[in-house]
């Protein structure tokens, strides 16, 4: 079982490499498809990463379960017509910022994006995000690993908050440009088993000047179990005073 799963994941990984070459999925070299500020930023980063050879952590690895692989393939398929965009992910925050990607400044070498802080595959946050521009919706496929334990066998509430914050934050970032979470309110409805796969589904509900109102649900793949629901407010730019 384990071995078969690994081979399957590698085969899919090879397939994914091919699909990364297709323009609509990563918005690579397709400026006419790019109309949102954040998407153009992300396509720029994707383009740049080809040259800087940054490791993209949102690609399948051997720790991904069959459920995670199946869901990933499903979303990748929905990228083909441009309805969804795959969002690349790097382990340093700075590599997401145009003009700073691949930076070798001393201070920036020491820092890491919190969710990519663990080196071993599968022990912490395994996740991949996809964005739907017309729905202003960011989904995150999330497989919590054994080092995210809170109650025995289940994800720590702080890790759930972190993945929600990142998904909601990325959604605000793509829709409104540079933004910070000002407020995040979470209701935990049902514990998330470690090693399971959940879908973190967030969307922008309203934008009022700098204020970006978002909502989010965390559900099991079959949609039957509501693990958490959240509302949040991000504030776009101007926070750097
Ligand atoms: C790159 C790869 C992807 C990475 C994604 C990772 C995403 C991670 C997201 C995060 O974790 S961000 C880090 C956690 N957040 C923070 O540390 C934010 C800390 N807080 C601040 O920096 C400031 O308080 C903030 C920028 C949020 C707001 O300060 P501002 O000076 O810009 O706003 P100001 O205080 O003038 O308020 C503007 C409006 O927002 C309202 N507001 C501000 N803070 C609020 C709040 N907390 N709750 C509700 N409303 C709030 C405020 O009342 C006001 O409303 P009105 O215009 O109607 O008067």
What pLDDT band is residue 46 in, cutting at 50, 70 and 90? low
Has residue 227 got a pLDDT over 60? yes
56 lines ligand 1 (CB under 6 A): no
Cα(50) to ligand 1 centroid in Å equals: 34
What pLDDT band is residue 12 in, cutting at 50, 70 and 90? very low
Residue 33, Cβ neighbours under 10 Å: how many?
16
CA atoms within 13 A on the CB side of 173: 18
Please give the average per-residue pLDDT across 132-154, as a whole number.
98
What pLDDT band is residue 161 in, cutting at 50, 70 and 90? very high
pLDDT score for 68? 98
96 lines ligand 1 (CB under 6 A): yes
Please give the average per-residue pLDDT across 7-25, as a whole number.
37
Has residue 27 got a pLDDT over 60? no
CA–CA distance, 232 with 235 (Å, rounded to integer): 10
Please give the average per-residue pLDDT across 186-204, as a whole number.
98
Q: Which residue's alpha carbon is at the smallest distance from atom 34 of ligand 1? A: 239
What pLDDT band is residue 50 in, cutting at 50, 70 and 90? low
85 in Cβ contact with 93 (< 8 Å)? no
Please give the average per-residue pLDDT across 68-81, as a whole number.
98
Query: Which atom of ligand 1 approaches the CA of 170 most closely?
Result: 5
What pLDDT band is residue 94 in, cutting at 50, 70 and 90? confident
Has residue 54 got a pLDDT over 70? yes
pLDDT score for 42? 63
Please give the average per-residue pLDDT across 40-46, as a whole number.
63
237 lines ligand 1 (CB under 6 A): no
Give the residue among 101, 117, 93 at the shortest CA–CA distance from 178.
Answer: 93
What pLDDT band is residue 19 in, cutting at 50, 70 and 90? very low
Please give the average per-residue pLDDT across 114-126, as a whole number.
97
Q: Which residue's alpha carbon is at the smallest distance from atom 10 of ligand 1? A: 181
Please name the residue that has the structure tokens 């070459």. Answer: 21
Integer CA distances (angstroms), 223 to 79, 166, 209, 219, in order: 21, 21, 34, 5
Query: Which atom of ligand 1 approaches the CA of 238 most closely?
Result: 32
89 lines ligand 1 (CB under 6 A): no
Please give the average per-residue pLDDT across 34-48, as a whole number.
56
Query: Of 5-14, 30-39, 232-241, which has the strongest mean pLDDT?
Result: 232-241
pLDDT score for 51? 57
76 lines ligand 1 (CB under 6 A): no
Cα(165) to ligand 1 centroid in Å equals: 13
Annotated catalytic residue: which of 56, 95, 165, 234? 165
Note if 165 is an active site residue. yes
What pLDDT band is residue 73 in, cutting at 50, 70 and 90? very high
163 lines ligand 1 (CB under 6 A): no
> Which one has a higher pLDDT value, 10 or 189?
189
Please give the mean pLDDT across all residues of the chain.
83
| Single pTM value for the model | 0.82
Please give the average per-residue pLDDT across 97-117, as a whole number.
81
Q: Which residue's alpha carbon is at the smallest distance from atom 22 of ligand 1? A: 239
């Amino acid at each position: 079982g384990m071995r078969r799963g690994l081979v399957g994941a590698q085969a899919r990984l090879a397939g994914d490499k091919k699909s990364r070459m297709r323009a609509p999925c990563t918005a690579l070299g397709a400026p006419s498809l790019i109309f949102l500020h954040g998407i153009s930023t992300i396509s720029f980063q994707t383009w740049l990463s080809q040259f800087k050879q940054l490791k993209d952590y949102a690609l399948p690895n051997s720790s991904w379960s069959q459920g995670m692989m199946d869901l990933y393939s499903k979303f990748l398929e929905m990228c083909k017509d441009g309805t969804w965009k795959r969002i690349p992910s790097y382990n340093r925050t700075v590599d997401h910022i145009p003009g700073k990607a691949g930076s070798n400044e001393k201070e920036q070498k020491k820092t890491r994006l919190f969710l990519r802080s663990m080196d071993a595959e599968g022990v912490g946050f395994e996740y991949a995000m996809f964005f739907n521009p017309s729905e202003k919706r960011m989904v995150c496929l999330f497989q919590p690993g054994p080092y995210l334990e809170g109650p025995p066998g289940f994800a720590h509430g702080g890790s759930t908050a972190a993945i929600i914050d990142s998904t909601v934050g990325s959604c605000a970032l793509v829709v409104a440009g540079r933004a910070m979470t000002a407020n995040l309110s979470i209701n935990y409805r049902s514990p998330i088993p470690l090693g399971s796969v959940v879908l973190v589904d967030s969307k922008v509900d309203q934008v009022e000047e700098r204020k970006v109102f978002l909502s989010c649900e965390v559900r099991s793949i079959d949609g039957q179990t509501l693990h958490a629901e959240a509302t949040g407010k991000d504030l776009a730019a101007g926070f750097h005073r």
